[in-house]
Amino acid sequence: MSMSVGSDSGEDEPMVEMNTTPLIDVMLVLLIMFIITIPVMTHAVKLDMPRDTHAPPPPVPPEVIDIEIDFDGTIVWNGTVVPNIQTLEGYFRQESQKDPQPELHLRPDARARYDVVAKVLASAQRNRMQKIGFVNTADFRDE
């Protein structure tokens, strides 16, 4: 690298050397971006593992019990009207003994009283029902 401070002739001549510092800076930035964006090489080893010939059978889906609560407080168990809460508790006691325990799908009417729904849920909990879910709750969004 050489640098000329002045000329011998004393005349003001334009400098014809190109300034390469910005060019080097741009090239370094591009090099760094290229290094960062290169996908990482992964080394994979393919292993042929023996297959399990004694696979367990697929699990049996649990029984589903539909409980509907109408606007007037009527409780319907799989299409059959339940006369009172004591009868409903008997149903829950009987179903909680099964293995696997059935799923309860509770479907209250949008106009059903909270008191009736709470009593049904409390009865299910007292009798150790474990899988309880509300079905079709999209009807409640507009009210």
Smallest CA-to-CA distance from 131 within 92, 107, 97, 105 is with 105
pLDDT at 143 over 70: no
Report the alpha-carbon distance of residue 16 to residue 95 in Å, rounded: 96
- Model pLDDT for residues 69-111, shown as the tens digit of each residue: 999 999 999 999 999 999 999 999 999 998 888 999 999 998 9
Tell me, what's the pLDDT at 141?
A: 56
Report the alpha-carbon distance of residue 109 to residue 136 in Å, rounded: 10
Smallest CA-to-CA distance from 74 within 20, 112, 123 is with 112
- Model pLDDT for residues 28-76, shown as the tens digit of each residue: 999 998 888 877 666 677 777 777 777 777 788 889 999 999 999 999 9
Going along the chain from its start, the domains and CATH numbers come out as 64-136 (3.30.420)
Per-residue b or e along 76-95, where b marks 16 or more CB atoms closer than 10 Å to that residue's CB = ebeeeebeeeeebbebbeeb
Element (H, E) at 12: none
